A and B are shown apart, each in its own frame.
Chain A
Amino acid sequence: RKEVEQDPGPFNVPEGATVAFNCTYSNSASQSFFWYRQDCRKEPKLLMSVYSSGNEDGRFTAQLNRASQYISLLIRDSKLSDSATYLCSEKVTFGTGTKLQVIP
């Protein structure tokens, strides 16, 4: 089993929709989780850290479920500009990324 796993998608959602991605991890002792955004042919950039109590940044909410060993990213009121690949990481190990396409 890969250490960090994501559904590669693509997720095609209409503008204004709410979309959620999950990322499962195998190391139950893991402490540090992040979500990154990667635009086409660009480098990944930090979107948000994932705190154990959950955290929100505008339309984005990240949560950690230790019992089931997954982290999630919720995007509310999707914008066209949200179209990108979203990568989760546990320390230096990354998932394969989930591609999001927001359609008009």
Chain B
Amino acid sequence: NAGVTQTPKFQVLKTGQSMTLQCAQDMNHEYMSWYRQDPGMGLRLIHYSVGAGITDQGEVPNGYNVSRSTTEDFPLRLLSAAPSQTSVYFCASSWELNTEAFFGQGTRLTVV
């Protein structure tokens, strides 16, 4: 099993550019989520989904969009990149809200 796969692993964007971070899981998990991790801030929840077709905002959703058209995929879109979005992004999945999370390897994003 591949688990949770994130692409790309590294990305440099210019301010104002848009891009999509991909996340796929092969464990048939219902719950998927996106976090950003910044020094001293820990993991902060951006958006999450409790199943295909259902998404909701987390703690820091501004500047990001998500969709969940299938159980397997949960892409994160940056609409107009800003330097404040420079961070490490992790996608995670779990059977449900109360169970352990499995993380992807992360995407290191730099916005210049």
Bound complex: CA of A34 vs CA of B98, how far in Å?
10
By the criterion of a CB under 8 Å from any partner CB, how many residues of chain B are at the interface?
A: 20
- Known A-B contacts A42-B105, A43-B105, A44-B103; the reply to A32 vs B42 at CB < 8 A is no
Bound complex: CA of A32 vs CA of B40, how far in Å?
24
Bound complex: CA of A6 vs CA of B102, how far in Å?
21
Interface string of B63-105 (1 = CB under 8 A from A): 0000000000000000000000000001000000111111111
15 further interface pairs, Cβ-Cβ under 8 Å (given A43-B90, A43-B104)? A6-B42, A31-B98, A32-B99, A42-B106, A43-B105, A44-B103, A46-B101, A89-B101, A91-B98, A92-B58, A92-B101, A94-B42, A95-B42, A96-B41, A97-B42
Most chain B Cβ neighbours within 10 Å, of A6, A8, A44? A44
Bound complex: CA of A91 vs CA of B96, how far in Å?
10
Q: Which residues of B contact A (CB under 8 A)?
A: 33, 35, 40-43, 45, 48, 58, 90, 97-106
5 residue pairs bridging A and B, Cβ less than 8 Å apart? A31-B98, A43-B90, A43-B106, A87-B43, A95-B42
Which of the residues A45, A92, A97 comes within 8 Å of B97, measured between beta carbons? Answer: A92
| Majority-rule SS of B interface residues | loop
A50 CB to nearest chain B CB (Å): 11
- Known A-B contacts A32-B98, A34-B100, A92-B97; the reply to A44 vs B43 at CB < 8 A is yes
CB neighbours of A31 from chain B (8 A): 98
